[in-house]
């Protein structure tokens, strides 16, 4: 049996705040009993991801420029969901907005924390099936192209580091695991 100690909060000060995140510096007592600091990033939205898969096993992706990385990224449709709104409602809106797709069947395949050593960001990923194509309606800050790949191609793209987005990788690996275990789809 281990003698684990928990972090103890002493005080905190907001260092930065905008509509999406708050950065706080906390004065703490670390597990060794010594004073220290801990920086926390609080996300004001859920990270919503959608794996839209058609009847042939093709998955829809968006390719867009990610400012923070200064590079293009291929990823499943993703966006922020307000904390006080049903995450499924946010996922339905995000899928339509980015791809124009409307799905008849929805199921949660992942509920995870991202970078939990410095942030409280939570991500929920849905599998979207029985798709109907409509017209995308991106936000003014979004510019992307839509692509469709079979899961085997996507797995190679992940292996070759063409896809590096964490939510996308986790979602695709979970989908492949579901397939191997003869779960849906």
Percent of the chain topping pLDDT 90: 88
Q: What is the pLDDT of residues 55-104, one digit of tens each?
A: 999 999 999 999 999 999 999 999 999 999 999 999 999 999 999 999 99
Q: What is the pLDDT of residues 138-170, one digit of tens each?
A: 777 778 899 999 999 999 999 999 999 999 999
31, 4 Cβ separation under 8 angstroms: yes
Q: What is the pLDDT of residues 33-65, one digit of tens each?
A: 999 999 999 999 999 999 999 999 999 999 999
* Amino acid 3: pLDDT: 60
* Amino acid 136: pLDDT: 86
């Amino acid at each position: 049996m281990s003698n684990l100690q928990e972090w103890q909060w002493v005080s905190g000060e907001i260092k930065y705040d905008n509509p999406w995140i708050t950065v706080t510096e906390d004065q703490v007592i670390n597990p060794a009993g010594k004073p220290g600091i801990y920086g926390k990033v609080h996300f004001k939205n859920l990270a919503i991801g959608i794996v839209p898969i058609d009847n042939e096993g093709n998955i829809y992706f968006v390719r867009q420029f990610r400012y923070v990385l200064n590079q293009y990224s291929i990823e499943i449709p993703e966006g922020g969901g307000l904390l006080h709104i049903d995450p499924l409602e946010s996922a339905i809106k995000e899928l339509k907005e980015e791809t124009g797709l409307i799905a008849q069947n929805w199921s949660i395949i992942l509920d995870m924390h991202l970078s939990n050593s410095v942030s409280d960001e939570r991500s929920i990923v849905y599998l979207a099936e029985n798709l109907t194509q409509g017209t995308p309606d991106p936000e003014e800050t979004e510019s992307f192209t839509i692509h469709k790949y079979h899961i085997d191609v996507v797995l190679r793209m992940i292996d070759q580091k063409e896809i590096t987005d964490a939510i996308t990788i986790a979602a695709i690996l979970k989908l492949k695991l579901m397939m191997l275990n003869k779960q849906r789809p």
